[in-house]
Structure 1
Protein backbone atom coordinates (compact mmCIF):
# COMPACT_ATOMS: atom_id res chain seq x y z
CA UNK A 1 0.00 0.00 0.00
CA UNK A 2 1.46 3.35 -1.06
CA UNK A 3 0.95 6.58 0.89
CA UNK A 4 -1.55 7.79 -1.71
CA UNK A 5 -3.42 4.49 -1.50
CA UNK A 6 -3.44 4.74 2.29
CA UNK A 7 -5.13 8.14 2.23
CA UNK A 8 -7.61 6.89 -0.38
CA UNK A 9 -8.38 3.90 1.86
CA UNK A 10 -9.19 6.20 4.78
CA UNK A 11 -11.58 8.18 2.63
CA UNK A 12 -13.25 5.18 1.03
CA UNK A 13 -13.48 2.79 3.99
CA UNK A 14 -13.85 5.15 6.97
CA UNK A 15 -15.26 8.20 5.15
CA UNK A 16 -12.61 10.43 6.69
CA UNK A 17 -13.40 14.10 6.09
CA UNK A 18 -11.03 16.70 4.66
CA UNK A 19 -10.88 18.38 8.08
CA UNK A 20 -9.87 15.13 9.78
CA UNK A 21 -7.30 14.41 7.08
CA UNK A 22 -5.78 17.81 7.77
CA UNK A 23 -5.56 16.93 11.47
CA UNK A 24 -3.88 13.62 10.58
CA UNK A 25 -1.46 15.49 8.30
CA UNK A 26 -0.60 17.83 11.19
CA UNK A 27 0.03 14.81 13.42
CA UNK A 28 2.28 13.17 10.82
CA UNK A 29 4.28 16.38 10.42
CA UNK A 30 4.61 16.68 14.21
CA UNK A 31 5.75 13.06 14.48
CA UNK A 32 8.39 13.52 11.78
CA UNK A 33 9.79 16.59 13.55
CA UNK A 34 9.92 14.79 16.88
CA UNK A 35 11.48 11.70 15.32
CA UNK A 36 14.58 13.78 14.60
CA UNK A 37 15.36 13.90 18.32
CA UNK A 38 13.97 10.60 19.63
CA UNK A 39 13.34 7.12 18.28
CA UNK A 40 9.54 7.15 18.05
CA UNK A 41 9.13 4.75 15.12
CA UNK A 42 11.47 2.66 13.03
CA UNK A 43 13.52 4.89 10.72
CA UNK A 44 12.63 2.60 7.82
CA UNK A 45 8.94 3.56 8.17
CA UNK A 46 9.38 7.35 8.28
CA UNK A 47 8.51 7.63 4.60
CA UNK A 48 5.58 5.25 4.96
CA UNK A 49 3.78 6.62 8.02
CA UNK A 50 0.33 6.68 6.40
CA UNK A 51 0.41 3.05 5.33
CA UNK A 52 2.54 1.52 8.10
CA UNK A 53 1.09 3.44 11.05
CA UNK A 54 -1.99 5.57 10.29
CA UNK A 55 -4.00 2.99 8.34
CA UNK A 56 -2.58 0.17 10.46
CA UNK A 57 -4.14 1.94 13.46
CA UNK A 58 -7.32 3.17 11.77
CA UNK A 59 -8.31 -0.29 10.51
CA UNK A 60 -9.16 -1.28 14.09
CA UNK A 61 -12.29 0.86 13.77
CA UNK A 62 -13.67 -1.63 11.25
CA UNK A 63 -14.14 -4.05 14.17
CA UNK A 64 -15.37 -1.56 16.81
CA UNK A 65 -18.83 -0.21 17.60
CA UNK A 66 -18.40 3.41 16.58
CA UNK A 67 -22.06 4.26 17.15
CA UNK A 68 -21.36 4.72 20.87
CA UNK A 69 -19.68 8.16 21.03
CA UNK A 70 -19.00 8.00 24.77
CA UNK A 71 -17.09 4.74 24.71
CA UNK A 72 -13.94 4.68 26.84
CA UNK A 73 -10.94 3.33 24.96
CA UNK A 74 -7.75 2.14 26.70
CA UNK A 75 -4.60 2.07 24.57
CA UNK A 76 -1.67 0.21 26.10
CA UNK A 77 1.92 1.23 25.39
CA UNK A 78 0.88 4.11 23.15
CA UNK A 79 4.45 5.10 22.26
CA UNK A 80 4.29 7.36 19.22
CA UNK A 81 0.48 7.49 19.44
CA UNK A 82 -0.50 4.34 17.59
CA UNK A 83 -3.23 3.39 17.58
CA UNK A 84 -4.61 5.61 20.36
CA UNK A 85 -4.10 9.10 18.92
CA UNK A 86 -5.30 8.01 15.49
CA UNK A 87 -8.45 6.55 17.06
CA UNK A 88 -9.05 9.81 18.92
CA UNK A 89 -8.69 11.85 15.72
CA UNK A 90 -11.08 9.61 13.78
CA UNK A 91 -13.81 9.18 16.41
CA UNK A 92 -15.49 10.72 19.44
CA UNK A 93 -14.20 8.02 21.78
CA UNK A 94 -12.63 9.05 25.08
CA UNK A 95 -9.12 7.61 24.88
CA UNK A 96 -6.61 6.90 27.64
CA UNK A 97 -3.05 6.55 26.41
CA UNK A 98 -0.84 4.46 28.71
CA UNK A 99 2.86 5.22 28.38
CA UNK A 100 5.57 5.00 31.03
CA UNK A 101 8.64 6.38 29.24
CA UNK A 102 9.30 10.03 30.17
CA UNK A 103 10.14 11.36 26.72
CA UNK A 104 7.19 9.57 25.15
CA UNK A 105 4.88 10.96 27.83
CA UNK A 106 6.05 14.49 27.07
CA UNK A 107 5.68 13.89 23.34
CA UNK A 108 2.15 12.51 23.72
CA UNK A 109 1.04 15.36 25.96
CA UNK A 110 2.28 17.92 23.47
CA UNK A 111 0.65 16.04 20.59
CA UNK A 112 -2.69 15.97 22.43
CA UNK A 113 -2.51 19.71 23.03
CA UNK A 114 -1.43 20.46 19.46
CA UNK A 115 -4.33 18.41 18.08
CA UNK A 116 -6.82 20.03 20.50
CA UNK A 117 -7.80 16.69 22.04
CA UNK A 118 -7.35 17.52 25.72
CA UNK A 119 -11.12 17.20 26.35
CA UNK A 120 -11.18 13.56 25.19
CA UNK A 121 -7.67 12.18 25.52
CA UNK A 122 -5.82 11.46 28.75
CA UNK A 123 -2.13 10.61 28.84
CA UNK A 124 -1.60 8.20 31.72
CA UNK A 125 2.11 8.60 32.32
CA UNK A 126 2.58 5.51 34.47
CA UNK A 127 3.24 1.83 34.08
CA UNK A 128 0.09 -0.18 33.55
CA UNK A 129 0.56 -1.81 36.97
CA UNK A 130 0.13 1.62 38.62
CA UNK A 131 -2.91 2.71 36.63
CA UNK A 132 -6.10 2.87 38.69
CA UNK A 133 -8.51 0.06 37.89
CA UNK A 134 -11.57 1.08 35.88
CA UNK A 135 -13.69 -0.64 33.22
CA UNK A 136 -13.17 0.24 29.56
CA UNK A 137 -15.31 -0.46 26.50
CA UNK A 138 -12.33 -1.13 24.23
CA UNK A 139 -8.73 -2.13 24.93
CA UNK A 140 -6.08 -1.89 22.22
CA UNK A 141 -2.39 -2.74 22.26
CA UNK A 142 0.08 -2.61 19.42
CA UNK A 143 3.41 -4.33 20.11
CA UNK A 144 2.88 -4.02 23.87
CA UNK A 145 3.57 -7.48 25.30
CA UNK A 146 3.11 -11.19 24.57
CA UNK A 147 -0.53 -12.17 24.95
CA UNK A 148 -0.42 -14.02 28.32
CA UNK A 149 1.45 -11.12 29.94
CA UNK A 150 -0.84 -8.57 28.28
CA UNK A 151 -3.92 -10.31 29.69
CA UNK A 152 -2.30 -10.65 33.13
CA UNK A 153 -1.66 -6.91 33.24
CA UNK A 154 -4.81 -5.60 31.58
CA UNK A 155 -7.64 -8.01 32.45
CA UNK A 156 -8.63 -5.87 35.45
CA UNK A 157 -9.67 -3.10 33.05
CA UNK A 158 -12.06 -5.35 31.14
CA UNK A 159 -15.54 -6.74 31.58
CA UNK A 160 -16.90 -9.72 29.68
CA UNK A 161 -18.21 -7.19 27.13
CA UNK A 162 -14.97 -5.27 26.63
CA UNK A 163 -13.75 -5.47 23.05
CA UNK A 164 -10.05 -6.28 22.69
CA UNK A 165 -8.36 -5.13 19.48
CA UNK A 166 -4.83 -6.49 19.34
CA UNK A 167 -2.66 -6.24 16.21
CA UNK A 168 -0.33 -9.20 16.59
CA UNK A 169 1.51 -9.43 13.30
CA UNK A 170 2.22 -12.80 11.78
CA UNK A 171 2.05 -14.65 15.10
CA UNK A 172 -1.53 -13.69 15.94
CA UNK A 173 -3.05 -17.16 15.59
CA UNK A 174 -0.18 -18.90 17.39
CA UNK A 175 -0.25 -16.41 20.28
CA UNK A 176 -3.97 -16.89 20.86
CA UNK A 177 -3.71 -20.69 20.64
CA UNK A 178 -0.92 -20.61 23.22
CA UNK A 179 -2.78 -18.19 25.51
CA UNK A 180 -5.85 -20.45 25.63
CA UNK A 181 -4.04 -22.77 28.01
CA UNK A 182 -4.43 -20.04 30.64
CA UNK A 183 -7.20 -17.76 29.40
CA UNK A 184 -10.78 -18.27 28.26
CA UNK A 185 -12.23 -15.95 25.64
CA UNK A 186 -13.85 -15.56 22.25
CA UNK A 187 -11.33 -14.26 19.73
CA UNK A 188 -11.06 -14.26 15.97
CA UNK A 189 -7.96 -13.58 13.90
CA UNK A 190 -8.83 -10.91 11.35
CA UNK A 191 -6.70 -10.03 8.34
CA UNK A 192 -4.72 -6.80 8.36
CA UNK A 193 -5.17 -4.50 5.37
CA UNK A 194 -1.56 -3.32 5.64
CA UNK A 195 0.13 -6.73 5.72
CA UNK A 196 -1.52 -9.74 4.15
CA UNK A 197 0.40 -12.08 6.47
CA UNK A 198 -0.43 -10.17 9.67
CA UNK A 199 -3.42 -10.74 11.92
CA UNK A 200 -5.49 -8.76 14.41
CA UNK A 201 -7.00 -10.51 17.42
CA UNK A 202 -10.55 -9.29 17.88
CA UNK A 203 -12.81 -10.49 20.67
CA UNK A 204 -13.71 -10.64 24.34
CA UNK A 205 -11.92 -12.11 27.33
CA UNK A 206 -13.92 -14.20 29.80
CA UNK A 207 -11.25 -14.71 32.43
CA UNK A 208 -8.41 -16.90 33.56
CA UNK A 209 -8.94 -20.63 33.50
CA UNK A 210 -8.99 -22.31 36.90
CA UNK A 211 -6.35 -24.90 37.54
CA UNK A 212 -7.89 -28.24 38.32
CA UNK A 213 -5.93 -30.73 40.35
CA UNK A 214 -7.03 -34.32 40.00
CA UNK A 215 -6.33 -36.25 43.14
CA UNK A 216 -5.88 -39.97 42.71
CA UNK A 217 -7.62 -41.93 45.46
CA UNK A 218 -6.95 -45.46 44.32
CA UNK A 219 -6.58 -47.85 47.22
CA UNK A 220 -8.05 -45.35 49.68
CA UNK A 221 -11.23 -46.03 51.65
CA UNK A 222 -13.80 -43.48 52.78
Structure 2
Protein backbone atom coordinates (compact mmCIF):
# COMPACT_ATOMS: atom_id res chain seq x y z
CA UNK A 1 0.00 0.00 0.00
CA UNK A 2 2.87 2.38 0.80
CA UNK A 3 4.29 1.94 -2.71
CA UNK A 4 0.95 2.80 -4.28
CA UNK A 5 0.57 5.88 -2.09
CA UNK A 6 4.10 6.96 -3.05
CA UNK A 7 3.26 6.39 -6.71
CA UNK A 8 0.16 8.58 -6.43
CA UNK A 9 2.05 11.40 -4.71
CA UNK A 10 4.85 11.31 -7.28
CA UNK A 11 2.40 11.13 -10.16
CA UNK A 12 0.45 14.18 -9.02
CA UNK A 13 3.70 16.11 -8.67
CA UNK A 14 5.05 14.99 -12.07
CA UNK A 15 1.70 15.68 -13.71
CA UNK A 16 2.44 19.39 -13.21
CA UNK A 17 5.49 19.02 -15.50
CA UNK A 18 4.16 16.62 -18.10
CA UNK A 19 0.64 15.54 -18.88
CA UNK A 20 0.73 11.95 -17.60
CA UNK A 21 -2.97 11.77 -16.73
CA UNK A 22 -5.89 14.16 -17.14
CA UNK A 23 -6.09 16.78 -14.41
CA UNK A 24 -9.68 15.88 -13.42
CA UNK A 25 -8.68 12.24 -12.88
CA UNK A 26 -6.15 13.26 -10.20
CA UNK A 27 -9.02 13.57 -7.71
CA UNK A 28 -10.14 10.02 -8.49
CA UNK A 29 -6.68 8.47 -8.56
CA UNK A 30 -7.47 5.39 -6.44
CA UNK A 31 -10.47 4.33 -8.51
CA UNK A 32 -9.60 5.68 -11.95
CA UNK A 33 -6.01 4.47 -12.06
CA UNK A 34 -5.01 2.22 -9.14
CA UNK A 35 -8.15 0.07 -8.80
CA UNK A 36 -8.68 0.13 -12.56
CA UNK A 37 -5.20 -1.36 -12.98
CA UNK A 38 -5.42 -3.77 -10.04
CA UNK A 39 -8.69 -5.27 -11.28
CA UNK A 40 -6.76 -6.98 -14.08
CA UNK A 41 -5.30 -9.40 -11.54
CA UNK A 42 -8.66 -11.20 -11.35
CA UNK A 43 -8.15 -12.48 -14.90
CA UNK A 44 -4.69 -13.97 -14.45
CA UNK A 45 -5.37 -17.71 -14.65
CA UNK A 46 -2.64 -18.94 -12.33
CA UNK A 47 -1.30 -17.90 -8.94
CA UNK A 48 2.16 -17.35 -10.36
CA UNK A 49 3.21 -16.61 -13.88
CA UNK A 50 6.28 -18.21 -15.40
CA UNK A 51 7.16 -15.52 -17.95
CA UNK A 52 7.04 -11.71 -17.80
CA UNK A 53 3.93 -9.57 -17.85
CA UNK A 54 4.29 -7.19 -20.81
CA UNK A 55 2.58 -3.80 -20.52
CA UNK A 56 2.41 -1.99 -23.86
CA UNK A 57 2.42 1.80 -24.15
CA UNK A 58 2.49 2.05 -20.39
CA UNK A 59 2.49 5.87 -20.34
CA UNK A 60 2.13 6.96 -16.71
CA UNK A 61 2.65 3.38 -15.56
CA UNK A 62 -0.85 1.96 -15.66
CA UNK A 63 -1.37 -0.88 -15.23
CA UNK A 64 2.28 -1.99 -15.16
CA UNK A 65 3.62 -0.10 -12.13
CA UNK A 66 0.55 -1.03 -10.08
CA UNK A 67 0.91 -4.73 -10.96
CA UNK A 68 4.66 -4.61 -10.19
CA UNK A 69 3.96 -3.04 -6.78
CA UNK A 70 1.22 -5.55 -5.94
CA UNK A 71 2.99 -8.66 -7.25
CA UNK A 72 6.72 -8.37 -6.47
CA UNK A 73 7.10 -12.07 -7.32
CA UNK A 74 6.22 -11.41 -10.99
CA UNK A 75 8.48 -9.89 -13.64
CA UNK A 76 6.91 -6.86 -15.31
CA UNK A 77 8.18 -5.23 -18.52
CA UNK A 78 6.93 -1.73 -19.35
CA UNK A 79 7.19 -0.60 -22.97
CA UNK A 80 7.04 3.14 -23.61
CA UNK A 81 8.61 5.07 -26.49
CA UNK A 82 8.21 8.68 -25.28
CA UNK A 83 11.50 9.79 -23.68
CA UNK A 84 10.03 11.95 -20.90
CA UNK A 85 7.70 9.17 -19.86
CA UNK A 86 10.54 6.65 -19.97
CA UNK A 87 12.49 8.88 -17.57
CA UNK A 88 9.45 9.06 -15.29
CA UNK A 89 8.94 5.28 -15.36
CA UNK A 90 12.60 4.54 -14.68
CA UNK A 91 12.56 6.98 -11.78
CA UNK A 92 9.46 5.31 -10.32
CA UNK A 93 10.95 1.82 -10.69
CA UNK A 94 13.99 3.07 -8.75
CA UNK A 95 12.13 5.14 -6.11
CA UNK A 96 9.53 2.44 -5.45
CA UNK A 97 12.27 -0.23 -5.34
CA UNK A 98 10.55 -2.35 -7.98
CA UNK A 99 13.33 -4.83 -8.68
CA UNK A 100 10.82 -6.98 -10.55
CA UNK A 101 10.11 -4.27 -13.13
CA UNK A 102 12.09 -3.02 -16.11
CA UNK A 103 11.42 -0.30 -18.65
CA UNK A 104 11.96 -0.74 -22.39
CA UNK A 105 12.30 2.83 -23.65
CA UNK A 106 11.58 2.26 -27.31
CA UNK A 107 8.84 1.38 -29.75
CA UNK A 108 7.48 -2.14 -29.31
CA UNK A 109 8.69 -3.11 -32.79
CA UNK A 110 12.29 -2.55 -31.61
CA UNK A 111 12.05 -4.57 -28.40
CA UNK A 112 13.79 -7.95 -28.54
CA UNK A 113 10.89 -10.45 -28.59
CA UNK A 114 10.31 -12.72 -25.60
CA UNK A 115 7.37 -14.90 -24.61
CA UNK A 116 5.01 -13.13 -22.22
CA UNK A 117 2.60 -14.77 -19.79
CA UNK A 118 0.36 -11.69 -19.85
CA UNK A 119 0.08 -8.81 -22.30
CA UNK A 120 -1.75 -5.70 -21.16
CA UNK A 121 -2.40 -2.41 -22.90
CA UNK A 122 -4.48 0.53 -21.74
CA UNK A 123 -5.15 3.09 -24.51
CA UNK A 124 -2.26 1.79 -26.63
CA UNK A 125 -3.69 1.14 -30.09
CA UNK A 126 -6.78 -0.18 -31.86
CA UNK A 127 -7.24 -3.91 -31.25
CA UNK A 128 -6.19 -5.07 -34.71
CA UNK A 129 -2.91 -3.13 -34.58
CA UNK A 130 -2.28 -4.14 -30.97
CA UNK A 131 -2.63 -7.84 -31.78
CA UNK A 132 -0.33 -7.53 -34.78
CA UNK A 133 2.39 -5.66 -32.87
CA UNK A 134 2.25 -7.98 -29.86
CA UNK A 135 2.26 -11.26 -31.84
CA UNK A 136 6.04 -11.84 -31.45
CA UNK A 137 5.57 -11.80 -27.66
CA UNK A 138 2.58 -14.12 -27.40
CA UNK A 139 1.99 -17.85 -27.27
CA UNK A 140 -1.21 -19.85 -27.09
CA UNK A 141 -0.89 -19.62 -23.30
CA UNK A 142 -0.52 -15.82 -23.21
CA UNK A 143 -3.36 -14.00 -21.47
CA UNK A 144 -4.36 -10.69 -23.06
CA UNK A 145 -5.86 -8.06 -20.72
CA UNK A 146 -6.93 -5.00 -22.68
CA UNK A 147 -8.96 -2.30 -20.90
CA UNK A 148 -10.74 -0.59 -23.79
CA UNK A 149 -13.28 1.58 -22.05
CA UNK A 150 -16.64 2.09 -23.69
CA UNK A 151 -15.40 0.89 -27.10
CA UNK A 152 -14.46 -2.65 -26.01
CA UNK A 153 -17.46 -4.48 -27.45
CA UNK A 154 -17.43 -2.50 -30.70
CA UNK A 155 -13.68 -3.03 -31.23
CA UNK A 156 -14.01 -6.75 -30.69
CA UNK A 157 -17.10 -7.01 -32.89
CA UNK A 158 -15.23 -5.29 -35.74
CA UNK A 159 -12.58 -8.04 -35.77
CA UNK A 160 -12.74 -11.10 -38.03
CA UNK A 161 -14.72 -13.99 -36.56
CA UNK A 162 -11.57 -16.07 -36.00
CA UNK A 163 -10.21 -13.32 -33.71
CA UNK A 164 -13.58 -12.68 -32.02
CA UNK A 165 -13.72 -16.32 -30.92
CA UNK A 166 -10.38 -15.95 -29.11
CA UNK A 167 -11.54 -13.08 -26.87
CA UNK A 168 -14.49 -11.89 -24.84
CA UNK A 169 -15.42 -8.65 -23.08
CA UNK A 170 -15.57 -8.46 -19.30
CA UNK A 171 -17.27 -5.67 -17.37
CA UNK A 172 -14.92 -3.23 -15.66
CA UNK A 173 -15.33 -3.07 -11.89
CA UNK A 174 -14.42 0.62 -11.85
CA UNK A 175 -16.63 1.96 -14.65
CA UNK A 176 -19.98 0.35 -15.42
CA UNK A 177 -19.83 1.53 -19.04
CA UNK A 178 -16.30 0.24 -19.68
CA UNK A 179 -15.12 -3.16 -20.82
CA UNK A 180 -11.94 -5.19 -20.79
CA UNK A 181 -11.08 -7.42 -23.73
CA UNK A 182 -9.76 -10.70 -22.31
CA UNK A 183 -8.38 -13.70 -24.18
CA UNK A 184 -10.16 -17.02 -23.66
Fold match by TM threshold 0.5? yes
Structure 2 residues not aligned, in runs of 5+: none
* SS at 2:166 equivalent: strand
- 4+ long deviations beyond 3 Å: 181-185
How many residue pairs were aligned?
183
| 1:129 corresponds to | 109
The equivalent position to 2:132 in structure 1, one of 152, 163, 170, is: 152
The Cα offsets for residues 45-68 of structure 1, whole Å up to 9 and x where unpaired, read as 011111100000000001113511
Structure number with higher relative contact order (C-alpha < 8 Å, ≥ 6 residues apart): 2
Aligned mates of 2:53, 2:146 — CA distance in 1: 13
Higher radius of gyration, 1 or 2: 1
The equivalent position to 1:56 in structure 2, one of 36, 50, 57, is: 36
The Cα offsets for residues 122-159 of structure 1, whole Å up to 9 and x where unpaired, read as 10000011011111000000000000011111111100
The equivalent position to 2:79 in structure 1, one of 98, 122, 126, is: 98
Evaluate the alpha carbon distance shift between residue 159 and residue 185 of structure 1 in structure 2; reply closer, same or farther with a 3 A threshold.
Answer: farther
The Cα offsets for residues 196-217 of structure 1, whole Å up to 9 and x where unpaired, read as 011001115xxxxxxxxxxxxx
Aligned mates of 1:113, 1:72 — CA distance in 2: 19
1:71, distance to aligned residue in structure 2 (A) = 3.8
Q: TM-score, normalised by structure 2?
A: 0.95
Structure 1 residues not aligned, in runs of 5+: 1-20, 205-222
Aligned mates of 1:66, 1:26 — CA distance in 2: 28
Please say if 1:162 is aligned against 2:176: no
